[in-house]
Amino acid sequence: TYETSKFLYSLEKRMGCKIKTIQTDNGREFCNDTDKAQSLFQIVLERLGIRHKRIRPYSPWQNGVVERSHRVDNEIFYAKRRFSSEEEMYKSFKRYATRTNNICRKILKFKSPNEVLKEYQSRVA
C-alpha cells in the first residue's frame, strides 16, 4: 500500500490533476471480505481524498474496459512468452506497453493513448 499511495501521488503530480474516483472490482487486493473494516487500499484512498467505487459482485462487465485489456494483454503478451527472469519480463513488457500505447484507437477518435496524453498535458501546462 505504500507503493500504491506513492504511485497515486506521483500520477496526480505528473498529470497535473486530482484523482476523484477509482473504480475496482471486489478483489481482496482492493477491499476486505467484510464491510466493517477498511482494507489498506481503501485507507490509502481515503487519506488521498479519492472516492472508491466498487462494481457489483460477480459483474465483470461493469469493468469491461479493464477486463478486456487484461484479456488482450494475456493473449498477446503473457500467453506467448516465457521469461528467464523478472528483469527480462519487465523489459519485454515495457516494449509491449510502448507499442500498445502508440496504436490508434477508434474510441480516442483514431488517436493513440500517447497522443491523447500529450494533448492533455499541453492543455494543462
Over the stretch 75-113, which tens digit does the pLDDT of each residue have? 988 888 889 999 999 999 999 999 999 999 998 999 999
pTM above 0.75? Answer: no
CATH code of the domain in which 61 resides: 3.30.420.10
Half-sphere exposure of 7 (CA within 13 A, CB side): 7
- 103 shares its domain with 75: no
Count of structural domains within the chain: 2
Rounded mean pLDDT, 38-42: 86
CA–CA separation, 94 and 122 (whole Å)? 24
For 42-58, the pLDDT digits (tens) are: 888 999 999 999 888 88
- 31 shares its domain with 47: yes
- 17 shares its domain with 72: yes
Closest CA relative to residue 30, chosen from 43, 19, 20: 43
**Burial class of residue 116 (count of CB atoms within 10 Å of its CB; 0-12, 13-18, 19+):** middle
Task: Give the residue numbers spanning the domain of 53.
Answer: 1-80
